[in-house]
């Protein structure tokens, strides 16, 4: 056998590193993307506007629920007063405290006295008796108005806020927020 007849063995097959580097690159890019999204979320959630909006979404339905309970309590106090005074309505809500109702129940959750309208004799039963407004600390949002008439019917139990993202419904009966 001659040297020319000897064929050197084939070089070992090299594994391709391209797939490994592609996987490392995609994984690193994904991690970087996740970090950017998390960082942006932390930034947004720490802004005063977001905190104010979330406070509104959480606090306002609970405040409205408190108003409804207060209205029911004050209405019962008014009826007890009327029973003791030959059907006459009190001239002012302050007259009811402390004999018929605790003074704290005459003030809304935002420390604003409830509005009281002394009904006219022979006036409509649907005439407003109690009223309050709950401000929403959202740009352009009108206040939530809750009223009670002479029959004890409460209106304004559901407040709908229309915005670009859809509608938000606040429910005073349940203290919840939904769409």
Statement: residue 44 has pLDDT above 60? no
pLDDT band for 61, please (50, 70, 90 cuts). confident
pLDDT, average across residues 110-131: 84
Statement: residue 146 has pLDDT above 70? yes
Lowest mean pLDDT among 24-38, 78-92, 142-156: 24-38
Distance CA 109, CA 104 (A): 9
CA 56 to chain centre: 5
CA 78 to chain centre: 31
**Total Cβ atoms within 10 A of residue 106:** 20
Alpha helices in 85-138 (DSSP H): none
pLDDT, average across residues 66-95: 94
Distance CA 80, CA 53 (A): 40
Coil, helix or strand for 32? helix
Domain residue spans of the chain: 59-178
Residue 57 in contact with residue 176, Cβ under 8 Å?
Answer: no
DSSP 101: S
Residue 149 in contact with residue 127, Cβ under 8 Å?
Answer: yes
Strands (E), the chain: 115-116, 128-134, 144-149, 154-155, 158-163, 166-171, 176-178
Sheet holding 166-171, edge to edge: 158-163, 166-171, 176-178
Q: What pLDDT does 39 receive?
A: 64
């Amino acid at each position: 056998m001659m040297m020319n007849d000897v064929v050197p063995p084939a070089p070992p097959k090299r594994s391709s590193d391209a797939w490994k580097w592609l996987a490392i690159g995609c994984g690193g890019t994904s991690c970087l993307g996740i970090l950017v999204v998390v960082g942006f979320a932390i930034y947004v959630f720490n802004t005063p506007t977001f905190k104010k909006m979330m406070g509104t979404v959480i606090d306002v339905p609970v405040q409205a629920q408190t108003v409804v309970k207060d209205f029911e309590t004050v209405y019962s106090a008014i009826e007890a007063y009327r029973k003791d005074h030959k059907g006459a309505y009190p001239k002012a809500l302050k007259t009811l405290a402390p004999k018929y109702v605790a003074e704290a129940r005459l003030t809304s959750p935002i420390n604003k006295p409830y509005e009281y309208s002394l009904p006219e004799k022979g006036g409509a039963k649907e005439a407003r008796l109690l009223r309050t407004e709950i401000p929403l600390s959202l740009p352009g949002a009108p206040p939530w108005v809750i009223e009670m008439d002479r029959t004890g019917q409460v209106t304004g139990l559901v407040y709908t806020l229309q915005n670009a993202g859809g509608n938000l419904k606040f429910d005073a009966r349940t203290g919840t927020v939904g769409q």
